[in-house]
């Protein structure tokens, strides 16, 4: 059994803005707003919403790549990941979005040695075609990825699993993790559920906490 693993959500957690918001504003504001209305009203699932937004971009792959570079990743993310690895931990990104844009941004930033679990995606028909793996043990009809199941599976391989998230889709993963860091949206949910967690807004705060706890060396 390995020592410890840090799992982080991507959009809104490791970054300060969701990729879907960037492409809606940049490429499809009218359609995007209507799809978001359908999602918020419960007419379609989160997965269906993201799938339709990404498929409807109607842009070249280069234009989409330029939008990916607009994702505002936490300024301390790269250092934090490296400090986790130096301290003997592993780092995993867990997202209900698509690995298509996550992996391209990580490569561009030179962030290596990170496992990404997200919905597969490919560029086709001038959009990102996101398709959940229905045969996966982590499959979810609502999110494409069941984050709670992922965390539970990795807990069987690590002595301690840390999790960081920002919103409702991260709830079950947070409930299943050993130690939780939560941005405001998720923190409110966890507070209502009585789940212990450490609030944060930037990863330098998470790093400071782990240093204080002796998990990561100063």
Which sequence spans correspond to the domains of the chain? 2-16+73-212, 19-68
Indicate if the pLDDT at residue 163 is higher than 90.
Answer: yes
Mean of the per-residue pLDDT values for the chain?
A: 97
Residues 6 or more apart from 184 whose CB is under 8 A from it? 166, 199, 201
C-alpha to C-alpha distances, 23 to 20, 51, 59, 144, 196, nearest whole angstrom: 5, 13, 10, 20, 35
CATH number 3.40.50.1000 is the correct assignment for the domain at 2-16+73-212: yes
Using CB atoms within 10 A of its CB, is residue 87 exposed (0-12), middle (13-18) or buried (19+)?
middle
Q: Which helix (H) or strand (E) holds 18?
A: none
Q: What percent of the chain has pLDDT over 90?
A: 99
Instruction: Evaluate if residue 161 carries a pLDDT over 90.
Output: yes
pLDDT at residue 59 in the model:
97
Q: Is residue 35 predicted with pLDDT exceeding 90?
A: yes
pLDDT of residue 216: 96
Instruction: Specify the pLDDT at position 1.
Output: 87
DSSP 3-state percent helix, strand, coil across the chain (nearest 5): 45, 20, 30
| pLDDT digits 0-9 by tens, 43-82 | 999 999 999 999 999 999 999 999 999 999 999 999 999 9
């Amino acid at each position: 059994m390995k020592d410890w693993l840090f799992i982080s959500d991507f959009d809104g957690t490791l970054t300060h803005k969701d990729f879907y918001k960037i492409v809606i504003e940049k490429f499809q504001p009218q359609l995007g707003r209507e799809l978001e209305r359908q999602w918020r009203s419960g007419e379609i699932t989160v997965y269906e919403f993201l799938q339709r937004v990404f498929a409807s971009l109607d842009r070249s792959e280069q234009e989409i790549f330029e939008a990916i570079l607009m994702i505002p990743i936490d300024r301390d993310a790269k250092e934090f990941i490296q400090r986790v690895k130096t301290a003997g931990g592993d780092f995993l990104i867990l997202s209900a979005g698509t690995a298509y844009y996550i992996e391209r941004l990580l490569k561009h930033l030179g962030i290596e040695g990170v496992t990404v679990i997200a919905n597969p995606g490919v560029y086709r028909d001038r959009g990102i075609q996101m398709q959940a793996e229905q045969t996966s043990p982590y499959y979810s009809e609502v999110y494409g990825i069941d984050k709670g199941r992922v965390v539970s599976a990795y807990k069987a391989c690590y002595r301690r699993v840390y999790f960081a998230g920002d919103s409702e889709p991260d709830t079950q993963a947070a409930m299943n993790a050993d130690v939780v860091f939560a941005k405001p949206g998720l923190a409110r949910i966890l507070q209502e559920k009585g789940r212990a967690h450490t609030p944060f807004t930037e990863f330098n705060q998470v790093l400071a906490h782990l240093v204080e706890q002796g998990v990561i060396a100063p």
